[in-house]
Structure 1
Amino acid sequence: MKPATADGPYKVPRQHNGLRSGLMAVAMHAVLLMFLWVGVSWQNNEPTEVQAEIWDMKVQDAAPPAPTPEPKPAPEPEPEPEPVKAPPPQPVQAPPVPKEDPEIALERLKAKKKEEDRQEKLEQARLKKEADEKLAKLEAKKKADQKAKEEKEKAEQEEKDKALAAEKEKDKKKAAAEKLAKEKAEKADKAAKDKAFAAEMSRITGSAAKGTTGTAAQSTGGKVDGGYASKIRAKIKSNLVYGSQDDSLAASYTITQLPTGEIIGIRKVKSSGSSAYDSAIENAISKSSPLPTKNDGTVEREITLDFKLKEMH
């Protein structure tokens, strides 16, 4: 028996002559089966029936037919031979196992422990490799999803930008069309005002007389009379409502009027920088209609005036 070691109890050593014992056992069984088969075949042979006639020479007459012989009994079967018994196999004694040196057993244990550690490290390395491969696949899938998302968002943004650009272009065209329509309307309105002004001037000055026509033309052109401008500014000042004392404020407006002095248009030429002051000046101009005329009763169709706050106090 194998001596006990640190890694387990005693173990029975493996027998190396088991093949020879097995062959001997198979041969003995084969011989026994052959004897049994021979015995059975010998007992199965059927007996042969034998008949004989006996003649008496002294009898001259024909003898009556011989009686039918009775069947002979079957012979008793011979006893079966006893099978030859094979001698029992002799037990093979195992050779004595030499006792193992403790140092050799210790070295074997160390080698076994080292191999187990190596296998464990290999298993850990395999598991780590599988985990790293899974993690790499997840990272690659995550990057692919992120890239697909960014591309989708980029495509959506491009569609939005295209739609916005188309909308801006549409608004631009619409604004240009509105501006053109507004300019046409302003031109038409100006033409209508000019026509109305000319008709009113003709009515007042008597366009049938040539001399009068020249006078009317003179009254609507040329340099603006300072006294005439002062009268208009004074009337507008009387209607101005503004409480600030910032004397640096100044605005310029062009006023369009009929020959009777009625205001038909106010256009801001220069802003003062204060929307409140600009609104106050426009309201004062509107309230001042009709404006005063010149000393000869005529007016300037369009007159541009500066309204400085320090002069409007």
Structure 2
Amino acid sequence: MKPATAGGPYKVPRQHNGFRSGLLAVAMHALLLLFLWVGVSWQNNEPTEVQAEIWDMKVQDAAPPAPTPDPAPEPEPEPPQPVEKAPPPPVEAPPVPKIDPEIALERIKAQKKEEERLEKLEQARLKKEADEKLAKLEAKKKADQKAKEEQAAKDKAEEDAKEKALAEKEKKKAAAEKLAKEKADKAAKDKAFAAEMSRITGSAAKGTSGTAAQSTGGRVDGGYAAAIKAKIKSNLVYGSEDDSLTASYVITQLPTGEIIGTRKVKGSGSTAYDNAIENAIAKSSPLPKKKDGTVEREINLDFKLKDMH
């Protein structure tokens, strides 16, 4: 038997001889029942036959003597009765040491606290494992999301680069086509202007009256410029209230006043206003002529918004 551990609860020692005592008791009872059964069986003998003679006094002759019966067999000796053994004395349990109730209570409390501490440690361990697993899952999820976003950004950058290259190519192509068209238009206008000038010059040489083009080296007639601006103003469509806008253009025209070219010398800073002026110039062809019926081949005009209202 192990002694009670200091600081732990008291436990009643187990009785290790109880099984052996019970086994011996069962064996003794079985032997006693066997002996009783054997004794009863041996005492149950068969009954002995008894014969009697009857004498009749009237009969003179004596009856023959009865046969002598066989002697009865001697009874078999009874078997010796087994000697009953006295059952072994019961094994007394060792005395239970007396424990102070307060000490036992303290031990129970200490054991309970220890169990609670171990349970808390186990719960903390399980929680830590769960948190670490969750953190790993979150980190993997973020890494996958980041990789997905980086791949999407890379794909978008490649797509944007392709679109930009295509747009640049289309832009260059459009610019080349526009330049070619402008050159073709300019050549056609120059050819038409030269033909018109030849016609006018030829007419003047024959003594006929015509509308000869004047050089641009001289001073432009103010009334002539005002007439041109007035016509362009009538075709201007622009609704801004910023009167500080001013744009300068050089207009090239045929002797008939038809416009064959417009070149912007100075922009106003507003694309919308510049486009509106160019559209108004194009709609004003042919332009007014001077009082003598002539025109300026090229004329430089300033278009101030405050004067175009």
Alpha-carbon RMSD across the aligned residues, in angstroms, is 4.6
The answer to whether 1:128 aligns with 2:120 is no
The answer to whether 1:252 aligns with 2:252 is no
The answer to whether 1:187 aligns with 2:183 is yes
In structure 1, the residue matched to 2:7 is none
Cα distance in structure 2, aligned partners of 1:202 and 1:163:
57
Q: Check whether the contact 2:248–2:302 (CA below 8 A) recurs between aligned residues.
A: yes
Query: Which among 292, 297, 300 is matched to residue 301 of structure 1?
Result: 297
Residue identity opposite 1:123 in structure 2:
E
Residue identity opposite 2:217 in structure 1:
V
Cα distance in structure 1, aligned partners of 2:104 and 2:26:
40
Query: Which among 256, 259, 263 is matched to residue 263 of structure 1?
Result: 259
Residue 299 of structure 1 deviates from its aligned partner by 4.3
Q: TM-score, normalised by structure 1?
A: 0.62
Query: Which among 199, 213, 218 is matched to residue 225 of structure 1?
Result: 218
Cα distance in structure 2, aligned partners of 1:160 and 1:305:
49
CA gap 1:113/1:299 in 2 versus in 1, 3 angstroms: same
Cα distance in structure 1, aligned partners of 2:12 and 2:226:
138
Cα distance in structure 2, aligned partners of 1:175 and 1:197:
32
Mean CA deviation greater in 176-185 or 241-250? 241-250
Q: Check whether the contact 2:28–2:87 (CA below 8 A) recurs between aligned residues.
A: no
Cα distance in structure 2, aligned partners of 1:100 and 1:311:
124
Residue 100 of structure 1 deviates from its aligned partner by 1.5
Q: Check whether the contact 1:253–1:306 (CA below 8 A) recurs between aligned residues.
A: yes
Indicate the structure whose relative CO is greater, using CA pairs within 8 Å and at least 6 residues apart: 2
2:131 aligns to what SS in structure 1?
helix
Count of residues paired in the alignment: 253
1:206 aligns to what SS in structure 2?
helix
In structure 1, the residue matched to 2:139 is 143
Residue 92 of structure 1 deviates from its aligned partner by 1.5
In structure 1, the residue matched to 2:289 is 292
The answer to whether 1:176 aligns with 2:169 is no
Cα distance in structure 1, aligned partners of 2:260 and 2:299:
12
Cα distance in structure 2, aligned partners of 1:161 and 1:149:
18
CA deviation digits over 1:38-73, x for unaligned, max 9?
Answer: xxxxxxxxxxxxxxxxxxxxxxxxxxxxxxxxxxxx
CA gap 1:85/1:152 in 2 versus in 1, 3 angstroms: farther
1:126 aligns to what SS in structure 2?
helix
In structure 2, the residue matched to 1:45 is none
The answer to whether 1:198 aligns with 2:191 is no
Cα distance in structure 1, aligned partners of 2:288 and 2:230:
12
Q: Check whether the contact 1:266–1:282 (CA below 8 A) recurs between aligned residues.
A: no
Q: Name the % identity.
A: 47
In structure 1, the residue matched to 2:95 is 97
Q: TM-score, normalised by structure 2?
A: 0.62
Residue 260 of structure 1 deviates from its aligned partner by 2.2
In structure 2, the residue matched to 1:87 is 85
Mean CA deviation greater in 286-295 or 159-168? 286-295
Any unmatched runs of 5+ in structure 2?
Answer: 1-10, 36-75, 206-211
In structure 1, the residue matched to 2:103 is 107
CA deviation digits over 1:189-221, x for unaligned, max 9?
Answer: 1011111111111122129x8xxxxxx8xx665
Residue 126 of structure 1 deviates from its aligned partner by 0.5
